[in-house]
Every structure is written in C-alpha cells, then in structure tokens.
Amino acid sequence: MPKHPNDRLQGTLDLLILKTLARGGPQHGYAIAQRIHHITEDSLRIEEGSLYPALQRMTADKWLRAQWGTTDTGRKARVYTITPVGRRQLDEEERRWLNLSEAIGKALRFA
C-alpha cells in the first residue's frame, strides 16, 4: 500500500477527521472539510479532496462506518459515523499527539 508522503500529516488528518466525527456526529465529506477549516481557523491548508483517500482507508479499517444519505439540498452523499474501534483509535492518537507536542514544547523551552 502506498504510504502517504508525510506520515505525520496523514496521522494528523486522521486525527482531525476522527475528532470531528466524534464531536459533531455523523457527517458527509463536505461537512467534515468545513468543520476542519472552521476549527483550525483555516490555518491548516489542505486540499479538501485529500479527505477521500483517508475516509476510504479508515472505513476499510472499520474505524468509520459509511452510509449513503442525502444532503440538505437533496444531493447523494456518503455519511460517515465513528465506530467504537474508531473511538479507541481516536483516544490513542490524541494521547500520542499530546505526548508528542508536550515533548516538543519542553524541548523548545529548554533548548
């Protein structure tokens, strides 16, 4: 399987998607993208299309469940829900991220 060019970035995207779904409940791809833009205040500049490889992979890994539904404007869209496996994954990723940023913060303070 081709690795994303930046593992850390991929991990970050996964984390953001999982967090978004855990907080905001089932959403389709567009809504997830808007939400991420919104919470990060547009500081993370990612192409919205790059959500889809991540969504596909996480669905295949059973972190998410996908169901076809319709948007408010009546378009066909796939709605993603986080699964218990996904929640566990989220907890772990979150902890890892916090540990990492704490460690880097320390390093930056004392260097």
**Which residue ranges make up the site for other proteins (CB under 8 A)?**
1-2, 28-30, 33, 47-50, 52-57, 60-61, 71, 73, 75-78
Q: What's the distance, CA 15 to chain centroid?
A: 4
- Cβ closer to other proteins: 18 or 33? 33
- Cβ closer to other proteins: 30 or 81? 30
CB 42 within 8 A of CB 57: no
Instruction: Tell me the C-alpha to C-alpha distance, in Å, between residue 23 and each of 6, 63, 64, 73, 107.
Output: 26, 15, 14, 23, 31
What is the smallest separation between the CB atom of 28 and other proteins, expressed in angstroms? 7
Give the other-Cβ count within 10 Å of 30's Cβ.
13
- Cβ closer to other proteins: 41 or 108? 41
What is the smallest separation between the CB atom of 13 and other proteins, expressed in angstroms? 12
